[in-house]
């Protein structure tokens, strides 16, 4: 719900069904920054991520209806058509998180907010910096989730597992400590809650067909420069979806007064990253 306007759960799930049936590729990245293509039908977790992506797109569309964005005109139909012609329709629908019959709407929304971001490229936006430890890889989400619960109860056990893996004696597992990432550098990780959870949290992140645990040691919000991040994203393998996620950071200050509530089955709305993220 956005300021009293309801977003139907059934509509969200129907769109997810359509995109999953088309085997829409996703664009999650592992914590090392490597993009990965995922078949949404491969596992429940990919479907859950798609749920969040579709709901995020619906919330953003509603936010764009507010008076704060009335100064942003809709792009010409010719530009929307030109953009649509550049990418396979099913892939484009998946990137935008919209139903195939609403691709034009998704493109229009994306172009409007991208225009806003370009107009405000030199203005500071809220960046999120995290310092984290990484333990990978787990063969299944259930194994990673069980380990997460165990390590939340016993942080010293995670320290020991990381040390063992870092020394090469952790079997197939590997580890890294003190890794630094920012939202502007790696926007694709925002969908998993990496930039939303407080220090001490442990986040489960898909990495290809396997799973990684990320422990947040420190999280801070600082002013960041959007312009250079947009340029980097436009030329990266993370694709247009990450570019639009970054562009939405420019809109966050315009929607601070609006109330967004999300059915907990899908996650929660994070007004900093401007996305629906998993519940911790």
Using the predicted structure, report yes or no on whether residue 26 has a pLDDT greater than 50: no
Q: Kindly indicate whether the domain formed by 124-224 is annotated with CATH number 3.10.50.
A: yes
Task: Report d(CA 215, CA 178) in Å as an integer.
Answer: 10
Average pLDDT over the chain reads 86
Q: Write the CB contacts of 222 (distance below 8 Å, at least 6 apart in sequence).
A: 126, 127, 128, 129
Q: Which long-range contacts (CB under 8 A, 24 or more apart) does 176-182 make?
A: 176/133, 176/134, 177/133, 177/134, 178/131, 178/133, 178/217, 179/31, 179/131, 179/132, 179/133, 179/134, 180/129, 180/130, 180/131, 181/31, 181/129, 181/130, 181/132, 182/127, 182/128, 182/129, 182/130, 182/224
Task: Report d(CA 6, CA 169) in Å as an integer.
Answer: 52
Residue with tokens 């947040």: 216
Domain ranges of the chain: 9-122+225-277, 124-224
Task: Report d(CA 136, CA 250) in Å as an integer.
Answer: 33
Using the predicted structure, report yes or no on whether residue 39 has a pLDDT greater than 90: no
Using the predicted structure, report yes or no on whether residue 195 has a pLDDT greater than 80: yes
Query: Given pLDDT bands bounded at 50, 70 and 90, which one contains residue 169?
Result: low
Residues of the chain with pLDDT > 70, as a percent, come to 88
More confident residue, 240 or 107: 107
Average pLDDT over residues 100-121: 92
79: helix, coil or strand?
A: helix
């Amino acid at each position: 719900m956005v300021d009293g306007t309801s977003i139907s759960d059934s509509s969200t799930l129907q769109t997810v069904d359509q995109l999953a049936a088309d085997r829409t590729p996703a664009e999650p990245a592992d914590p090392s920054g490597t993009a990965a293509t995922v078949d949404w039908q491969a596992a429940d977790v990919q479907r859950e991520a798609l749920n969040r992506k579709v709901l995020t797109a619906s919330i953003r569309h509603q936010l764009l209806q507010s008076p704060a964005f009335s100064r942003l005109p809709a792009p010409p139909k010719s530009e929307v058509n030109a953009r649509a012609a550049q990418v396979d329709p099913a892939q484009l629908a998946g990137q935008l998180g919209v139903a195939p019959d609403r691709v034009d709407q998704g493109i229009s929304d994306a172009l409007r907010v991208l225009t806003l971001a370009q107009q405000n490229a030199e203005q500071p936006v809220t960046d999120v910096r995290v310092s984290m430890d990484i333990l990978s890889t787990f063969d299944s989400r259930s194994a990673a989730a069980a380990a997460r619960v165990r390590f939340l109860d016993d942080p010293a056990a995670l320290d020991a597992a990381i040390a063992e893996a870092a020394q090469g004696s952790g079997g197939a597992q590997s580890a890294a400590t003190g890794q630094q990432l920012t939202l502007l550098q790696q926007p694709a990780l925002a969908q998993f809650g990496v930039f939303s959870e407080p220090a001490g949290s442990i986040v489960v992140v898909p990495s290809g067909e396997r799973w990684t645990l990320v422990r947040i040691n420190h999280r801070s919000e600082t002013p960041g420069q959007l312009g250079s991040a947009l340029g980097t994203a436009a030329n990266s393998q993370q694709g247009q979806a990450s570019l639009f996620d970054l562009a939405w950071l420019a809109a966050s200050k315009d929607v601070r007064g609006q109330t967004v509530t999300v059915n907990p089955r899908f996650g929660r709305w994070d007004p900093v990253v401007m996305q629906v993220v998993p519940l911790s």
